[in-house]
Amino acid sequence: MTEPAPAGAALGEPAAAADRAGLSPLAWRAVLGCIIAAAMTVLDLAMTSTVLGSIQESMGEPLAKGALVISAYATAELITLSLSAFLTRVFPARTYLVLLVCLFVGGALLSACAWSFESLLVARVVQGAASGAIMPFAYYAIVVLLPGDKHPKAISTFSILVTGSYVLAPVLCITLGEWIGWRALYCVAAPVGALGLWLALPGLRHMRTDASSPLGRKVNAVGAGAAVVGLGCTQYALDSGQERGWFSSAVVNLAVGAAIAAAVLFVVTELRSRHPLVDLRLLRLRPFLTSCVFNVVGGVAVYSSYVLIPVYLTTLGFSAADIATVSLYGGTVQLAIALGLPLLLRRIDTYLVSCTGALMFATAALLPFLAGSSPPYVVIVIALMCRSVGSGLLLAALGLMATRTLSAHQAASGSLLFNMARSLGGSVGAAGCAAFLTIREAYHAHAAGASGVPRVPGVPGVSDTDGAGRSLALHDVFAVAFAILLLLALSLAAGYALRRIRERRAALTTDG
Residue 186's Cβ-side half-sphere holds a number of Cα atoms within 13 Å equal to 23
* % residues pLDDT > 90 (the chain): 8
* Band of pLDDT at residue 195, cut at 50, 70 and 90: very high
> What per-residue confidence (pLDDT) applies to 511?
61
**Length reported for the chain:** 512
Query: Residue 467 carries which side chain, given as an amino acid letter?
Result: G
Is the per-residue pLDDT at 232 higher than 80? no
Distance CA(400)–CA(291), nearest Å, equals 9
CB contact at 8 A, 246 and 254: no
Res 15 pLDDT > 50: no
Residue 127's pLDDT band (cuts 50, 70, 90): very high
Residue 426's pLDDT band (cuts 50, 70, 90)? confident
How would DSSP label each residue in 14-81?
PP--TTHHHHHHHHHHHHHHHHHHHHHHHHHHHHHHHTHHHHHHHHT--HHHHTHHHHHHHHHHHHHH
Backbone angles phi and psi of 454, in degrees to 5: -65, 150
pLDDT at 198: 92
Residues 6+ apart with CB under 8 A from 96: 87, 88, 133, 137, 209
Are 37 and 197 in contact by the 8 Å Cβ rule? The answer is yes
pLDDT at residue 6 in the model:
43
Least confident piece of the model among 149-153, 205-209, 470-474: 205-209
Q: Is the pLDDT of residue 259 over 60?
A: yes
Q: Give yes or no for residue 402 having a pLDDT over 70.
A: yes
Q: What is the pLDDT of residue 148?
A: 64
Query: Span 198-208, mean pLDDT?
Result: 79
Q: Is the pLDDT of residue 466 over 70?
A: no
Mean pLDDT confidence for 255-272: 84
Going from the C-alpha of 295 to that of each of 187, 422, 479, the distances in angstroms are 32, 5, 21
Q: pLDDT tens, 44-90?
A: 888 888 777 778 777 777 666 667 787 778 778 878 877 777 777 77
Cα separation, 234 vs 299, in Å, equals: 16
The overall average pLDDT reported for the chain is: 77
What are the residue ranges spanned by the domains of the chain?
20-219+277-501, 220-276
- What is the model's pLDDT at position 18? 38
pLDDT band at residue 213 under the 50/70/90 scheme: very low
Maximum average pLDDT range among 135-139, 236-240, 244-248, 462-466: 135-139
Q: 73: Cβ–Cβ under 8 A, 6 or more apart, which residues?
A: 45, 48, 124, 125, 127, 128, 131
Whole-number pLDDT of residue 464? 46
Give me the pLDDT at residue 507, please. Answer: 76
CA distance 71 to 114: 18
Q: Identify the pLDDT of residue 217.
A: 55
Q: Do 52 and 70 meet the contact criterion of CB atoms below 8 Å apart?
A: yes
CATH topology of domain 20-219+277-501: Growth Hormone; Chain: A; (1.20.1250)
Q: For position 25, what pLDDT does the model report?
A: 78
Q: What is the pLDDT of residue 451?
A: 53
CB distance 143 to 14 below 8 Å = yes
Condensed to tens digits (0 to 9), the pLDDT of residues 238-254 reads: 766 666 666 777 777 88
How confident is the model at residue 455, as a pLDDT? 46
Q: Is the pLDDT at 4 greater than 50, yes or no?
A: no
User: In which band, very low, low, confident or very high, does the pLDDT at 103 lie, cut at 50, 70 and 90?
Assistant: very high
Give the highest mean pLDDT range of 62-66, 202-206, 379-383: 379-383
> Per mean pLDDT, which range of 188-202, 256-270, 427-441, 444-458 is the poorest?
444-458
Give 162-186 pLDDT, tens digit per residue: 777 877 887 887 777 677 778 888 8
d(C-alpha 359, C-alpha 507), whole Å: 31
Does residue 320 contact residue 177 with C-beta atoms inside 8 Å?
Answer: yes
What is the band of 161 on the pLDDT scale with cuts at 50, 70, 90? confident
